Structure 1
Amino acid sequence: MSTWQSYIKEYQNYLRLERGLSKNTIENYTFDIEKLVLFLEQNDIVVSPIQISEETIQEFVYAISSKVNARSQSRIISGLKSFFNYLIFEDYRNDSPLELIEVPKIGRKLPDTLATEEIDALIAAIDLSTPEGERNKAMLETLYSCGLRVSELIGLKLSDLFFEEGFIKITGKGNKQRFVPVGQSTIKYITSYVNLIRVHYPVQKGHEDTLFLNRRGKQLTRAMVFTIIKDLAVKINLNKTISPHTFRHSFATHLLENGADLRSIQLMLGHESITTTEVYMHLDRKFLSEVLKNFHPRA
């Protein structure tokens, strides 16, 4: 299967250099192809990415359909389509073996939204008697008040803080940069953490500019932020499946419910397309009725 590995490596370079995708996104794309490679190995099918047929792909899709849900199946097929389209783009193939493979229909799944009271309760449950507690409070306030992705939060630098102007600089997907407004209370929490807590951390070489540090003085991992949030949810008996992304989703939903326009929210979230922003707009009927009543001339 070494031929697969060489094509996968070329594809990864293309995703990184030409598409500007992040390490995490590239790993996810690669993971989908490796599932196919594993299937071929397990079934003693020796075929390169150039020769593989639609029938073999169909067998693979049939095999995974009994193991994963429709959403995962859809993502794997989508990842493979991208890989074979790349091979066509590079003139390795003339057609895609996924041309006629149908993606299972799935509805748009929206994550849970937290009410302001629930966010307050989560943050209030942080033990502030520890240095990590002060850091976690500053992190969650930043996550919610700026609507960041978890990768953007852990990648924040001291040099990204433009507090006098009231903005922070965010490096998003594909290394695209945007400025997001930051409120006074969040500025206060970050400043307090930097001046009173971070100064006592043993900063490791290469992390001098990293804003949120772990105990060893290095950048936090995504998994650590997930764990912090999950532990707080357990602590307050919150019966919702939440993650760092829940704070971002809540940020967008609360802004919309309070009258912000989609275009502004799109700019703050760093979405290329307005349709991506619309997915976040998890609105209840009561709110929509209020909009109609207040803004339509015939209401």
Structure 2
Amino acid sequence: MHAINYCEYESEHPGDFATEVSLRKRGFDLRVEHAQWSTSGTARIELQNSCLIRMLLSPSGLECNDNSHNLGRFRGQPTQQFKPLGQLLFIPHGTEFHLKHGACQQKSLICLFDPTDLGPLAAYQWDWAGHAHESMLNLRSLYLQASLQRLAEEVCAPGFASELHIECLLTSIALDLRREFLGNQSLNESDGKLSPRQLKLLREILEAGPEEDISLSHLAAICGLPARKLSTLLKNTTGKTLRHYAAEVRMEKAMALLTDQRLLIKQVAYQSGFQNAAAFTAAFRKALGKTPEEFRRQRSS
């Protein structure tokens, strides 16, 4: 998710980029980055599966934060004129951004994030198609500025529970951007089914070991839904209750693990979410009509 396709053109000297500090985890990629262009030029920036928000920082001794050095535009906008970039720039996923830069240096906080990987935000639609607006080139929000400044401080000097703190800040930032540019775009419930992302989250939790909480309330919270709504949407999506769906997911994982001859049956049982080998064998026989050992022998023969 963390890739930026930076295509320099109309310039013989692409920019030099150096990362001062960075933090990358599932759902986000943060870095404090120095950029230097020896000549003016134009570049095309394409994002892969993530949004980008940039905040110019103000280090001493660098020529930066002068918007005459940085202009930008989104492809397909009614006006194709380049506009001055502000201290805060937002590029949503699925858009093509064109940058015109002068010979300059600048230091920035670069924040790449995928809202669908930020906890309960996965339950919402994040379709940015047709929503790119020139106001994204110069976000004028003191709230966003303060939140991004806190992100920069956390990346440069991590403290207690930094990753959790960063995820909370990013969740708040994503919601603020959504309210500003996507309005009341509804939950992925228009067809009465779970979204692909919600179903993926469920499978990941159900495939984990027995130490994972798979209660209805916990799974519903992960999907950002009320417990009763999760049960209804899951039944509409898979045709199964949560109990039967969980059993099916565990059996699929168990069958895949049994093909590895190095694993003991009790290891397969535990990794498939069962408390012991006896419970696993009983459930496996009931589901497939054979024991795990018989299944393994047939597959290896």
- TM-score where L is the length of structure 1: 0.31
- TM-score where L is the length of structure 2: 0.31
Instruction: Tell which has more relative contact order, 1 or 2 (C-alpha 8 A, sep 6+).
Output: 1
